[in-house]
Each structure stands twice: as structure tokens, then as C-alpha cells.
Amino acid sequence: MKTKNKIHPWEITSESVYLDRRQFLLAAGLATAAGMTSLALPGQLMAATGDLESVQGPYSTDEPPNSWKDITTYNNFYEFGTAKDDPYDNAQEFRSQPWTVKVSGECDKPGEYHFEDIIGPHTLEDRVYRHRCVEAWSMVVPWVGIPLGDLLKRFDPNSDAKFVRFKTLHDPEQMPGQRRPVLRWPYVEGLTIAEAMHPLTLMVVGVYGKTLPNQNGAPLRLITPWKYGFKGIKSIVEIEFTSRQPHTSWEIANSREYGFYANVNPEVDHPRWSQARERRIGAGVFDEKQPTLMFNGYAEEVAELYAGLDLRKNY
Amino acid sequence: MTQKSVRILKAALFLLCLLPLGKLTLEVFGVAGMSLGANPIEELIHRFGKWGLNFLLITLAVTPVRHLIGLAWLMRFRRMLGLFAFFYLLMHFLTYAGLDQRFDIPVIVEDVVERPYITIGMTALLLLLPLALTSTNSMMRRLGRRWQKLHRMVYVIAILGVCHFYWQVKQDILEPLIYALILALLLCYRLVVRWRRNRAASRQITRNGHDRIAHTRRTI
């Protein structure tokens, strides 16, 4: 039996609370200066008590995490609509339990696995990661998950398993965004086997110590913090080991703008906008954008995966 | 419509046109729980831009609506609507330049030069500037016929504006397509009216043997 972690990393860092308070005071001051009464509270830190049992994992940043509100109301999850608040508005009725994942391809233990079979044998870890969207905004998110590599090893991938392909649930009834062909449904993402096995890569089941909200990709989603957010496929129902590089949804939609690797890279611009800087969600309206870091600041951990690869061509 | 009622309606319309600005202001300061969401700067830029486009299309709708339901006095409000389009688009640019790029001129120039959707957006705004500056009665008088020619530029500006919107959308083009469709209808209306007038005029010529084209070449 796992022991419940008493202190979570975001509880140790009171900096975020301090920041939130400071922003509140600033907002209140501005409102008073403008002769108005402010009833609005800034994004609150919630979920001090989570429902998941977890231990502290490695690689956590000590940057202050974003508020529960920002993380759970500002989402790109096109299956529930293309506006940022659509997932929050449209995903509340989504049934994320019971949940089955089909494992197939180049491995010795394919099959249909229940959510409990997938997660049960592992210890959940808290990992506070930076999250950089291809749209040039970023957050810091206290995820709860398991290292993807530990999970994949249980399916005994064979030597032909060079890539891993993931698929999101296709259910237009529950996912209204899938009723329009904005992307080719179901959503498909992929990683090289080395990326999938990297200890930074997470299969996420929660945020802020709580079960993952539907709008964040319940019940299972991928997180690769050195890649743009769209690689983090949500509501996963299929994992396939393949010998060939999978065609991913955004690549199919626009291969000139979105590549298979999608590594965060301030030197390679999106054809329509710069990737050199990012807007940190939750920063003040008058705060500057911050410089984007190579591999989103995880270069030390992942740069060797891409040794000899032309990152301009393999974007 | 009497002079007095026009004045009252104008004042009412002015306040109505300020409503989007009022709402945005309340949201910026978080009054009564209103908010611009997690990414307020982007939201502000987008909302100003969209209201600018809305007002451009509303301005372009005045003439067709006047023709179709015969409310001649609608023309009295067109200038104000056009100026509000300019105002919201200027705010769109200023929030981008000021809040997003913090008036970092080299970065803004790079954006305008290297990012085609920003290039055409900037072009549209610059083309709109002389129209706003020549919207006074005295400028209309001074420019005479050239005033009308100059202000036909608004068709080009609206096309550029909708292209700018279409081009910056990440993947879901439904909304800019709706704008494009409305703009296409408004422009087609003018083409059809012009074509019918020209045809009528040429019939007149053959029938009467003298040139009445000049007469039919009124504004459409």
C-alpha cells in the first residue's frame, strides 16, 4: 500500500500564493483607483487536498504553478470545441470511467487493459512541469502521473517497436467538437520509442493531486514537457507499437506548420508567428513576455535524443 | 425624419457603439466577476479586432439596407459607424503594439515585415487612416468627387481585414469564413446594382440616342 504524501510540492512553495495575493492586491488597487468595487478574485489556488495518493517525483520545477482555475478553464482540446473555454463548458458530462485502452502492435503483451490495470501497479508521482503551447503561451502545471516508460515496458515491446502511436477516443456523441472536421478524427499522436521511454515522459492521471478533470484529457493523457502541448494527446484509448513513424493529426492537418517532433525551439519559428518568446498565463496584463527556452528548459535531459538531427528540418 | 430626432438617434447610436468598449473595460478591471480569462492580452486584441471587423461590415451594410428597405436616413449614421470601425481597429493595433509587444519597435517591424497576416492587417489599418482623417464635412467639400473615390478604398480594407482574420486562425476557419461570406454578399450586392445600372444606361442610349450614363453613375 502506498503512503499518502503529506506535503505536495506546490504546498511547500508558498510563492504562488504570495503571487496570487499580490496580483489580487494590484487588481483591487486598480479597481479602487478607477472608482469601482472589485468582486472578482484572481485565479485561486484550490485543491490543497487531493484525492490521489502520490509521492514526489523528480524533475519538478520550483517555478510557481498556475492556478487550478487557469489550468482547468484555458484548454486546447478540440474534441470539445476550438475555443479555450469550450472544453470546460462541454466536457463536464464526459464519461471517463469505466475506461479501456487497447494495446497493440510490436509487443508481446497486446490486449485490452482497463484503466485500473494500466495505473494500478504503479506509484503515482507529482511532477511540476513547464507547459509550452505552440501558440506561444505557457503554464506551470503540477501533474500527477506515472513514467510512460514504466508502463510501456509491461507490454514487452519487441525490437521492431521503433515508435509508439496513441489515439484519442472517437465519440462525436460525447465529444461535440468531433462533429466538425476541424482535424481528422480520431486525434493521433506519436513518439519515438526513445522519447516514449524517456523518464521525463508521463502518462498523466491527475493535476494538483486530484483526478484529471475531463477538460484536461481524462482519464489518461500524455505529457512530454519539452515538446509543444499538442503532442500531449488526451483521453487515450489506443497505444500501438509501430516500426514506422506514425502520421499525427496536426501533421496531417498542416505539415508545413506542425511536425512530428514538435520540440520546443525558440530558434525555429512557426511559419505564421515567432516562437522566441512566450506569454506566461497568469502573469499580469502589464508583464513582459518571457524568452522561450530550448526544449522548454529540458535541454539537459533530452538534447541527446536529437544528437545529429537537423532541428530546423525536423521541427 | 426631423433634425431633432436624427440628433437623438445619433446620440443613442454613439452610446450603443461604445458598449463593446465598456464591457471590455469592466472585464479588464474584473468588475462584478467579469474577466478576460486566463490570457487577457490575447483576448483583448482579438475582441478589439473582431469589433473593428464587425463595424466595418455594419458600415458596408448601410447602403444595401437603405436600398432594400428604403430608409434613406440610415445614411446619416454611416460616418459614425465607419469611425467606430477605425476606433476599434486602432485599439486592436494599440493593444498588440503596447500590451503584447510593449512598443518594442524592432519586434513590431519584424512582425509586420515577416508575418504576412500582420502585413495585410497593418496595410488595412494604414489605408483606413486617410479615410478617418477625411471624414469631416469640410474635407468632404474640399475633396469633392475625389472624396468618393478615396472612400471606395473601404472595400479593399474590408477584404484585407477579413483575410487577416482568416490567416491568423490556427485551424478552425469557420468564423472567418462567416465573415468572408457576409463581406462577399455586401460586395456582390454592389456589383449587381452597378451592372444593372450600366445595362439600363446602355438601353437608354440606344433608345434615346443620347448619353445618360453620367446620370446613372451615382454611388452604389
Average pLDDT, chain B: 92
Average pLDDT value for residue range A141-158: 98
Of 3.90.420.10, 3.20.20.190, 3.60.20.10, 3.40.640.10, the CATH number of A9-306 is: 3.90.420.10
Q: Examine the pLDDT at B219 and tell me if it is beyond 70.
A: no
- Supply the pLDDT for residue A287: 87
First-residue to last-residue Cα distance in chain A:
43
Instruction: Determine the pLDDT at residue B202.
Output: 86
Q: How many CA atoms lie within 13 A of A9 on its CB side?
A: 25
Report residue B205's pLDDT band, with 50, 70 and 90 as the boundaries.
confident
pLDDT tens digits for range A248-286? 999 999 999 999 999 999 999 999 999 999 999 998 888
What is the rounded distance in angstroms from the CA atom of residue B211 to the CA atom of residue B192? 21
* Domain boundaries, given as residue ranges, for chain A: 9-306
pLDDT reported for residue B3: 86
Average pLDDT over residues A10-28: 47
For B70, the grid coordinates are 428604403
pLDDT for A7: 65
CB atoms A82 and B38 under 8 Å: no
Length in residues, chain A: 315
What is the total residue count of chain B?
A: 220
Q: A272: which chain B residues are within 8 Å (Cβ-Cβ)?
A: 115-117, 167-168
Chain B residues near any Cβ of chain A (below 8 Å): 26, 28-35, 37-42, 99-100, 102, 110-111, 115-117, 167-168, 170-172, 174
Is the torsion defined by CA of A16, A22, A25, A26 positive or negative?
negative
Compute how many other C-beta atoms are within 10 angstroms of the C-beta atom of residue B117.
17
Provide the residue ranges of all domains of chain B, joining segments of one domain with +. 36-216
Q: Where residue A293 falls among pLDDT bands split at 50, 70, 90?
A: very high
User: Which grid coordinates are listed for B128?
Assistant: 483606413
As given in the structure block, the three cell numbers for residue B38 are 486566463
CA dihedral defined by A177, A180, A181, A185, rounded to 10 degrees? Answer: 40
Query: Mean pLDDT, chain A, as a whole number?
Result: 89
Question: Hey, are the CB atoms on A74 and B38 less than 8 Å from each other?
Answer: yes
pLDDT, tens digit, 9 for 90 and up, residues B95-127: 999 999 999 999 999 999 999 999 999 999 999
Q: For residue A6, is pLDDT > 80?
A: no
Enumerate the residues of chain A whose CB falls inside 8 A of the CB of residue B117: 272
Q: What pLDDT score does A34 carry?
A: 40
So what's the ipTM on this one? 0.85
Cis peptide before A58 (omega within 30 of 0): no
Instruction: Give the separation between CA B96 and CA B43, rounded to whole angstroms.
Output: 11
A123-145 mean pLDDT: 98
Question: In the predicted model, is pLDDT for residue A24 greater than 70?
Answer: no
Dump pLDDT digits (tens) for B131-156: 999 999 999 999 999 999 999 999 99
DSSP code string of A74-132? S---GGG-SSTTHHHHHSTT---SS-EEEEEESBS--EEEEHHHHHTTS--EEEEEEEE
Size of interface A-B (CB pairs under 8 A): 73
B31·A39 Cβ contact <8 A? yes
Pairing relationship of beta strands A236-242 and A163-168 according to DSSP bridges: antiparallel
Dist. CA A8–CA A282, nearest whole Å: 21
Which band of pLDDT confidence, cut at 50, 70 and 90, is reported for residue B83? very high
Q: Which amino acid is at B17?
A: C
A191 three-state secondary structure: strand
Instruction: Tell me how close the Cα of B52 comes to any Cα of chain A, in angstroms.
Output: 20
- Residues B14, B80: contact at Cβ < 8 Å? yes
pLDDT over 50 (residue A47)? no
Handedness of CA A137, A141, A144, A147 (dihedral sign): positive
